[in-house]
Amino acid sequence: MQILTPHVYWAQRHGEIYLRVDLSDAKNLDISLQENNTLQFRAQGHGAKGDNEYEFSLEFLEPVRPEINHKSTQRQVVIKIKKQEERWWDRLTLQGKKPLFLAPDFDRWLDESDAEMELQAKEEKINKISVESRVRKDPYLGLKKGYLFMYNLVQFLGFSWIFVNMTVRLFILGQDSFYDTFHTTADMMYFCQMMAVLEVINPLLGLVKTGFFPAMIQVAGRNVILFVIFGSLEEMQNKPVVFFVFYLWSTIEIFRYPFYMLACISTEWKLLTWLRYSLWIPLYPLGVVAEAVAVIQSLPIFDETRLFSFPLPALLGHSFSFSYTLQLYLVLMFLGLFVNFRHLYKQRTRRYRSRKRKVQ
């Protein structure tokens, strides 16, 4: 039987050499490392010249470790050898001229710089695992995630009920639904906004990483509109602005809460992530504008009813109208819009940068 040389493909990393022998259905494998740092390969199988016995030898450029890992499949034989020292070789063999049967394995091939980046990524991953193993695990982590999951689920269901109720009534009654929005959805909105106070408490307890002040600005602002403007003034409860405020709030929240809910179980839906970080860009400013309209419409009512007015000494006048406080609140409202918009935009930017790094 004629002895032939198979096609051999090679690639390297700083610490390893990969050889792929183009020999299918290999039998009687004999792979060894000789004392002169030469790899000796002999096997019977189907190669470029059909079923024959194939063999080759390679004297490596630098010393390698004696352990040889190999795996034979129906299509090829894969050999992995560790270098004695982790360094990049200029070539595979000691002899300057490359053997005719040897060629680069482009499926594994990396330049030195690419291999260094791969090695660095592996080291960073190992270091991260090492650090995580040293960090003390929170024994209450499961309980915290369970609480946050249930909170976000309840809020999602509440705002979904408001959104669906208002949408159905809009399609059935048209513009007439604008005037009784408060009476049909106020109880659920009261419940959701009182629950939202927990979003101010959660950062203080370290349950979430979001900031305390952005959460406080949003929750306090909404509760002023809901409880002070709409809840205390019957004249405001039949105005169309209630519809637009409630509809914009619920539209934002039916995407925000399920996003956080899924984050509690380390799950992500790309479409939901995009909606959560994109819809607020037009909806959040529109919501603030609708709230500002509600405040402006309430000013003459507070002046007329003197509700929440502060009594003053006789020399200064009868009372200080609550409408002056609301005018100051209008200024603070748009300042809060700037603060929250900036905070949310930074969140969006960090999120997409993080996803881009993972893809790379």
Whether 277 is a known active-site residue: answer no
Q: For 17, phi and psi rounded to 5 degrees?
A: -125, 135
Say how far residue 269 (Cα) sits from the centre of its chain.
9
The C-alpha torsion from 238 through 293 and 219 to 277, rounded to 10°, is 110
Q: Which of 291, 304, 329, 345 is catalytic?
A: 291
Rg of the chain (C-alpha set): 35
Q: Which of 179, 284, 304, 329 is catalytic?
A: 284
For residue 144, give both structure tokens. Answer: 């915290």
- SS3 letters for the chain? CCEECCCEEEEECCCEEEEEECCEEEEEEEEEECCCCEEEEEEEEEECCEEEEEEEEEEECCCEEEEEEEEECCCCEEEEEEECCCCCCCCCECCCCCCCCEEECCCCCCCHHHHHHHHHHHHHHHHHHHHHHHCCCCCCHHHHHHHHHHHHHHHHHHHHHHHHHHHHHHHHHHHHHHHHHHHHHHHHHHHHHHHCCHHHHHHHHCCCCCCHHHHHHHHHHHHHHHHHHHCCCHHHCCCCHHHHHHHHHHHHHHHHHHHHHHHCCCCCCHHHHHHHHHCHHHHHHHHHHHHHHHHHHHHHHHHHHCCCCEECCCCCCCEECHHHHHHHHHHHHHHHHHHHHHHHHHHHHHHHHHHHHHHC
Whether 284 is a known active-site residue: answer yes
**Is the dihedral angle over the CA atoms 193, 199, 201, 207 positive or is it negative?**
positive
Instruction: Quote the CA–CA distance of 268 and 256 in Å, as a whole number.
Output: 13
Residues designated as active site: 284, 291
